[in-house]
Copies of this chain bind each other. A is one copy, B any other.
Amino acid sequence: MRQVTIYDIAKEANVSVSTVSRVLNDTAPVKRSTRAKIEEVIQKHNFQPNAMARSLLTNETGIIGVIVPDLTNPFFPEVFAGAEEEAQQSGHTFLLSNTIGDYAKESQYLSILREKRVDGIIFLGGRINLKHCEEHLVQELVQCASVIPTVLVNGALRKTDLVRVVTDESAGTALAVRHLTLLGHREIGFIGGESHMTTTSIKLRAFRKTMKDEGLDVREEWLLPDSFSIDSGKRQMLKLLAMEERPTAVFCVNDYTAIGAIKAATEAGLSIPDDMSIVGFDDIPLAHHFIPELTTVSQQAHELGRTAVKVLKAMMNNEKVKKLTSLEPQLIIRQSSGLRS
């Protein structure tokens, strides 16, 4: 069945669209007989007003703009799926922009989304993950957020009080490292992540701290940042394997690098987890289906997306929201980690 629109209702009830809108939103009086007629037509078609219809009177577009850095990294589509689920109820729709980690593209999309009059913006990746973000990029986003409700997801801009929704990456890293130490591992490496990104520095700092808390030494030669790709995981695992002394367990900055590390180790004849334990971060959908299944830290991508939309909707309704909403990560123990042999 074709979706019935407010236009169809107006036509059938022989009234204007704004009259239907007034009945739907109860924003202005409507003649009793007219109201009855409209309500009859609405009931007949079991009509559900959507965001577009609502916006006719409220001056909202019902559209949320989402800026993401890289849709080919399955973490981001998962966050987005959660956002969509949350928006389903309120009838909001999304315009999604992919920035390929390009700051100029971020600027371009911010300006397009503003021009297209979206009601709110959810911003992921790029400049909000930089250890040092240039001032004009900071100011651009601050300025944007002063006009349009904006939520930063898994990132921050220093010296600003923009609203943020994050997973506690530091706590997640500690969970992973403690899981490995509980399995008896004492020699633990760290693979992946670009050094100028906060996600890398946060995890590296938490890694060092947890190792120290557990009374273990951090071996600097086993700290191998690189990038976030499968290939970088392979590359750094090959480096580890070529060393005279190697760790018995490795914490990887994300699931992609963990998959690369497992692949390289397996190809070199190691059995995972018997010869080496490997833990990832993110819990992308494939982590569960990889062979061996990946032990990882769930960032709760889906919940992150849902929460970002919840917070954004509150902001769009002019409700007061917390500046920081932090989700607890979860350790997901599967097959790629095991007892130190």
Partner among B98, B112, B262 whose Cβ is within 8 Å of the Cβ of A52 = B112
Do A107 and B3 contact each other (CB < 8 Å), given the known contacts A96-B95, A97-B94?
yes
A116 at the binding interface (Cβ < 8 Å): yes
The minimal Cβ–Cβ distance linking A111 to chain B, given in whole angstroms, is: 7
A290–B52 CA distance with the chains assembled, in angstroms: 43
A63–B97 CA distance with the chains assembled, in angstroms: 11
The minimal Cβ–Cβ distance linking A270 to chain B, given in whole angstroms, is: 12
Partner among B84, B93, B286, B289 whose Cβ is within 8 Å of the Cβ of A108 = B93
A190 at the binding interface (Cβ < 8 Å): no
A80 at the binding interface (Cβ < 8 Å): yes
Partner among B71, B109, B112, B286 whose Cβ is within 8 Å of the Cβ of A80 = B71
* Interface membership of chain A positions 116-154, coded 1 if the CB is closer than 8 angstroms to chain B and 0 otherwise: 100000000000000000001100000000000000000
Partner among B71, B81, B108, B289 whose Cβ is within 8 Å of the Cβ of A259 = B289
A84–B96 CA distance with the chains assembled, in angstroms: 13
Taking CB atoms and an 8 Å cut-off, the chain A residues in 8-49 that contact chain B are: none
A74 at the binding interface (Cβ < 8 Å): yes
A141–B286 CA distance with the chains assembled, in angstroms: 34
Partner among B63, B72, B263 whose Cβ is within 8 Å of the Cβ of A77 = B72
A183–B260 CA distance with the chains assembled, in angstroms: 29
A321 at the binding interface (Cβ < 8 Å): no
The size of the chain A interface, using a CB distance under 8 A, is 41
Do A109 and B81 contact each other (CB < 8 Å), given the known contacts A289-B230, A289-B263, A291-B263?
no
Q: How many copies does the complex hold?
A: 2
The minimal Cβ–Cβ distance linking A36 to chain B, given in whole angstroms, is: 28
Residues in B with CB closer than 8 Å to A97 are 93-96
A58 at the binding interface (Cβ < 8 Å): no
Taking CB atoms and an 8 Å cut-off, the chain A residues in 52-90 that contact chain B are: 52, 63, 71-72, 74, 77-78, 80-81, 84
A2 at the binding interface (Cβ < 8 Å): yes
A241 at the binding interface (Cβ < 8 Å): no
A184 at the binding interface (Cβ < 8 Å): no
The minimal Cβ–Cβ distance linking A70 to chain B, given in whole angstroms, is: 8
A243 at the binding interface (Cβ < 8 Å): no
Residues in B with CB closer than 8 Å to A107 are 2-3
Partner among B72, B259, B260, B266 whose Cβ is within 8 Å of the Cβ of A78 = B72
Residues in B with CB closer than 8 Å to A81 are 71-72
Q: Can you list 17 contacts pairing A with B, beta carbon distance less than 8 Å?
A: A2-B136, A2-B137, A3-B107, A71-B96, A72-B285, A74-B74, A80-B98, A84-B98, A93-B108, A93-B109, A95-B96, A95-B112, A95-B116, A96-B97, A96-B98, A259-B286, A290-B291
Further 9 A-B residue pairs, CB within 8 A, beyond A50-B108, A266-B291: A2-B136, A3-B104, A52-B112, A74-B74, A95-B112, A95-B116, A96-B98, A230-B289, A259-B289
